[in-house]
Structure 1
Amino acid sequence: MLVMSNCHRLPLLLLLLLQSLGWLQARRGFGAGDQDWAYVEVREGAHLFYWLHYTTANVSSYKERPLVIWLQGGPGVASTGCGCFEQLGPVDIEGKPRASNWVQHFNVLFIDSPVGTGYSYVEPHGHYAKHNNQIAKDLVKLMRAFLHSHQEFRRMPLHIFSESYGGKMAPEFALELQLAKQRSILECQLQSVVVGNPWTSPLDSTLSYAPYLLQLGIVDHEGYSSIAHAAAKVARLVYDGKWLQAMDQTIQEVIEKYTGGVFLYNTQRRVHINEVYRYGEDPKLREFMINNVTQALNLTHMPEWMSQNATVFIKLGHDIFKPAVHIVTRLLNETPVRVGVFSGMLDLLCATPGTVNWINRMRWHRKDLYVSATRRPMRIDGMLEGYEKQGGGFSMFWVYRAGHLVQQDNPAAMSYILREFTGFG
């Protein structure tokens, strides 16, 4: 029988305590709070990267707060870059604290998805994802590995948030995660999936451009007619299943011609004629990530971080214009997971009218509860920040003074939405 002295027993008890609290994986990364990060080989030669930020909330244990997964859009824009440092992480690329950061409320898991995005990479013998279901199954494999090494999160509430192309990725990821749970492949407590300005029904978004721009006074009837004609051409290709041809249409060039170059992500944002900005590609972000974050995470020996990998986009070419509304319907019909949509009303790329159109056509078992629900003003500290309508497991939020990036443009409204689903924000 082994007998331990008190001096040896204390370190062991401390070790057991740390194991029970789950802090052994925590490391110092970049920015505030404890963190952890790792690669997961989800398929042969295909590696996803995750970066966990433990909450900095004033709690006795991080287990008192839920886990929120953030997926970026694109496809091919990095969650670890655009999501963490431009939108909702603890600090911005100037190193300044972000007052509206999510880590102060929850544990946040940034995932660079699909493979090849951000820090994620594909070896020469590996394969990029070619369709949305592959993206979802890759994410499930990542979560199996994550929940194996961070077992305490198996019993903690889980929420998936995303925006833009994430409006296709997140619902299918949530569905595959629930199916894996039903097959006892993994254990998790997924409670909601919430998508912002989603590319869930690409054709609905495209067909909304002309009337949206006309009603805002951004184009006249000549511009309306030309943009509507271009959108109708996209629609014909989509109806014929010519997905690559639909993606290759130049409707954005037509919009630029007749609007004088309106900013696609926020039609009311003041943008200088010489300013060049595409979603997730702040000109300073790449240099910041490579020279600062890569060093702090000790990833200098890994493939270089990419702000947006065009190969990811190209490989998904046949899938870009395919809708995912049927996946949202399955979530509502087959799972207890709450589904939410929020839409910044100044966005053109995934314009609110197009989003409302596919929601109105969507059918699920309890839709009558949503239809009969009262659409209410969303007031925060007495200020009108938009509207909300909830029922039948589904929620819709119309957000004032916000475009494609609601967290950036109206963090007060975003906090309201976060509290609605997570209880914190």
Structure 2
Amino acid sequence: MEKSFAWFAVSVLCLVPLFHGGIAIAASTQDGTEEWGYVEVRPKAHMFWWLYRSPYRVEDPSKPWPIILWLQGGPGASGVGMGNFEEVGPLDTYLKPRNTTWLKKADLLFVDNPVGTGYSFVEDKELFVKTDEDAATDLTTLLEEIFNRNESLQKSPLFIVAESYGGKFAVTVGLSALKAIEDGKLKLKLGGVALGDSWISPEDFVFSWGPLLKDVSRLDNNGLQKANSLAQKIKQEISEGKFVDATNSWEALENLISSSSNFVDFYNFLLDSGMDPVSSLTANDMSKGLARRRYSRYISSLRSTPDGDGDLNTLMNGVIKKKLQIIPQNVTWGGQSDNVFTELEGDFMRARIDGVDELLAKGVNVTVYNGQLDLICSTKGTEAWVEKLKWDGLQAYLSKDRSPLYCGNDSITRGFTRSYKNFHFYWILGAGHLVPADQPCIALNMIGDITNSPA
């Protein structure tokens, strides 16, 4: 896995006619271990992808080598940037090999989804997606362009693994991909969907914040009462279909929580905002009502040093952009991400529990995993929406005992898991919102189990 700096300089470019019209731009390293490119998913709407072939691949006829499609949250956060260099890719933000890369268990496909995220871009601001379903349609188009041309990829099961708001995308694209497969438009095997700290039911999460923070002494009874009152308002707005109003009230609730808790970190409730090395949003910023920007700011200055070394934004707009060669000069990584969030504000507070139910009913393997210390997508809120599933196996699942999780020869409890039929849940101890970054060892073991990897 040691890579020299020359890795960033060598690539081969090609132009590929699209099934849907237009031209796709693609490139690869000379040894074929990496491929990347753009797909014009709609006229003037360009989506960027990056595929890594695993050097740890094991050929086992009984266990096909899997591919993981990683979807980031936000909406507007870049999987090509954050998921890749901060969490599970082969290199970290200092371009050093990651010992716990998920390439040890699968090939990795990162996509900047929806258009406008990361290196993906639109030429007309009217082309940003307005709903999760629109995003799923675009992403399914990209999958058709990548998989339908490549028989080797078609032999590997695809696992859609998501984090945060990416979980909503994973549910909708999972259903969209299934339909395309059934209609003969998409040639791939869907292995499963994994939802990590995912924003599946906003209502359940906002109701979890007050009680959770009261239990860990970050709120008092006054703060709890105010938080619950605003959560009730959000519930009413959601029930009336006033989703933009609910998004505005969500922002107000986050600011209330921040001020009442002396600025607890929404991604690790044991910390103050700004203490986490991957968080740059200060208390002063939040007091100015910038809750909507918290996630994008959270990922925009990751583990930076005074000279900029290790800063994700500097990396992606510098050496990585130069390596990739095909990023248009006028495209800045993350330059349109705020627009992505704004355009989706009408769908932001809409639940996707029914989509999870539909996946389960279709026999798709669904895994939910959650970091113990996450607040924004708390385990308490996740358990609440899981109990609302209409899946016929729910009661049997809930009645089962959990099994403890360990790492290697470690005797320390790292988490718990429970499974029944095609539904699986992982509780990851000591992790906040970004499970693979906070607990890389147990996350690697978990993804090996999820994908049934032969490695």
Same fold (TM over 0.5): yes
Q: Does the alignment pair 1:412 with 2:441?
A: yes
Q: What TM-score do you get using the length of structure 2 for normalisation? A: 0.83
Are residues 409 and 49 of structure 1, via their aligned partners in 2, closer, same or farther at CA, if it must alter by over 3 Å? same
- The range that moved more, 69-78 or 236-245, is 236-245
CA displacement at 1:165 relative to structure 2: 0.2
SS in 1 for 2:396: helix
Contact 1:223–1:258 under 8 Å retained in 2:
yes
Q: What is the 5 A alignment of 1:26-41?
A: 27-28=28-29, 34-41=33-40
The answer to whether structure 1 residue 327 and structure 2 residue 346 are counterparts is: no
Q: 1:245 to 1:107 in 2, by over 3 A?
A: same
Counterpart for residue 260 of structure 2: 258
Q: Is the 8 A contact 1:66 1:422 kept in 2?
A: yes
Partner of 2:12: none
Letter in 2 for 1:253: N
Aligned equivalent of 1:306: 334
- Does residue 397 of structure 1 match 2:426? yes
Whichever residue aligns with residue 276 of structure 1, its letter is S
More displaced, 105-114 or 378-387?
378-387
The answer to whether the aligner puts 1:282 opposite 2:301 as a matched pair is yes
Partner of 1:170: 170
Shift of 1:258: 1.2
Task: Give the aligned residue type for 2:28.
Answer: R
> Within 2, Cα distance between the matches of 1:193 and 1:172?
10
CA contact (8 A) 1:367 1:392 kept: no
Which structure has the bigger radius of gyration? 1
Residues 66-85 of structure 1 correspond to what in structure 2 (within 5 A)? 66-85=66-85
> Which deviates more from structure 2 when the two are superposed, residues 70-79 or residues 218-227?
218-227
Aligned residues between the structures: 397
Aligned AA (1:345): Q
> Would the alpha carbon gap of residues 307 and 422 (structure 1) be closer, same or farther in structure 2, given more than 3 Å must change?
farther
SS of 1:387's partner is strand
User: Contact 1:346–1:401 (CA<8 Å) still a contact in 2?
Assistant: yes
Q: Deviations over 1:227-283 (max 9, x none)?
A: 112212212211221111111121111111111111110112465579724332225
Q: Which amino acid aligns with 2:239?
A: Y
Residues 276-329 of structure 1: CA deviation (Å, up to 9, x unaligned): 243322252111111110000003535221177110011111100000000000
Distance in 1 (CA, whole Å) between partners of 2:174 and 2:164 is 16
1:366 equivalent in alignment to 2:393: yes
SS at match of 2:427: strand
**Distance in 1 (alpha carbons) for counterparts of 2:335 and 2:78:** 6
Gaps of 5+ in 2: 1-25, 282-296, 303-310
TM-score (structure 1 length as normaliser): 0.88
Residue 44 of structure 2 is matched in structure 1 by 45
Shift of 1:366: 2.7
Q: CA RMSD in A?
A: 2.2
Q: Which segments of 5 or more consecutive residues in structure 1 lack a partner in the other structure? A: 1-24
Q: Is the 8 A contact 2:161 2:170 kept in 1?
A: yes
* Residue 137 of structure 1: how far off its partner (Å): 1.1
Q: List aligned pairs for 1:16-165, cutoff 5 A.
A: 27-28=28-29, 34-57=33-56, 59=58, 65-124=65-124, 127-165=127-165
Contact 2:370 2:427 in 1 (8 A): yes
- The letter of the residue matching 2:202 is P
Matched residue SS, 1:103: helix
Q: Which residue of 1 aligns with 2:242?
A: 242
Moved over 6 A (4+): none
Q: Any idea what SS the aligned residue of 1:294 has?
A: helix
Question: In the aligned structure 2, how far is the partner of 1:120 from the partner of 1:356?
Answer: 34
Q: CA deviation at 1:51?
A: 0.4
Indicate the SS of the match to 2:167.
helix
